[in-house]
Amino acid sequence: MGRAFKRVGSESIRASLSTDELDLLRGLPEQLKSVLEEGDADPANDRLFPPAYLDVEETEANEEYRRLMHAELIEGKMAALGLLASSLERATRRGSRWSVELSEEEALAWLNVLNDIRLTLGVRLDVTDDLDGDIDPDDPRAPGFQLLYYLGWLEEHLLAALSA
């Protein structure tokens, strides 16, 4: 697998994706949107919106923070989903790969969405701190872990391009 992202100029990142990668990424915004719309009914939202205060004694402060900020946080996540989706629609074929130029704002939205998808997937796969990365191919969760690792790889490469 080559580099998925490359800085081009001072304010642009080029994403280079296979058809399979493009198709996969195009499906992610709707999936994450449905998680966000489920609200408290989906346990992944606990991971996407952790408490602001970790002290158990701060229950009231956490409730107040959630009351004041939750709608704005949802709005930000939805905006990032929209930027990822609209940028993917601009992808054009370049040889055997698809390419799309991302502004800094779009690249940061991609990072946010990739991270949120990974957090959600981690909840679905019941990932814990003791996960060593070795997954039995016969484990029914193996495809999910492969997706988790691929999205992490994308994040890593996008961060490298942004910091170049």
**Domain segments of the chain: what residues?**
5-163
Q: What is the pLDDT of residue 2?
A: 61
Q: What is the pLDDT of residue 123?
A: 96
24-61 pLDDT tens trace: 999 999 999 999 999 999 999 999 999 999 887 888 99
SS (H, E, C) the chain: CCCCEEECCCCEEEEEECHHHHHHHHHHHHHHHHHHHHHHHCCHHHHHCCCCCCCHHHHHHHHHHHHHHHHHHHHHHHHHHHHHHHHHHCCEEECCEEEEEEEHHHHHHHHHHHHHHHHHHHHHCCCCCCCCCCCCCCCCCHHHHHHHHHHHHHHHHHHHHHHC
pTM of the model: 0.91
84-139 pLDDT tens trace: 999 999 999 989 999 999 999 999 999 999 999 999 999 999 998 777 777 888 98
CA pair distance 81, 163, nearest whole angstrom: 22
135-154 pLDDT tens trace: 888 989 999 999 999 999 99
Q: What is the pLDDT of residue 1?
A: 53
Count Cβ atoms below 10 Å from residue 135 Cβ, excluding itself: 17
What's the length of the chain?
Answer: 164
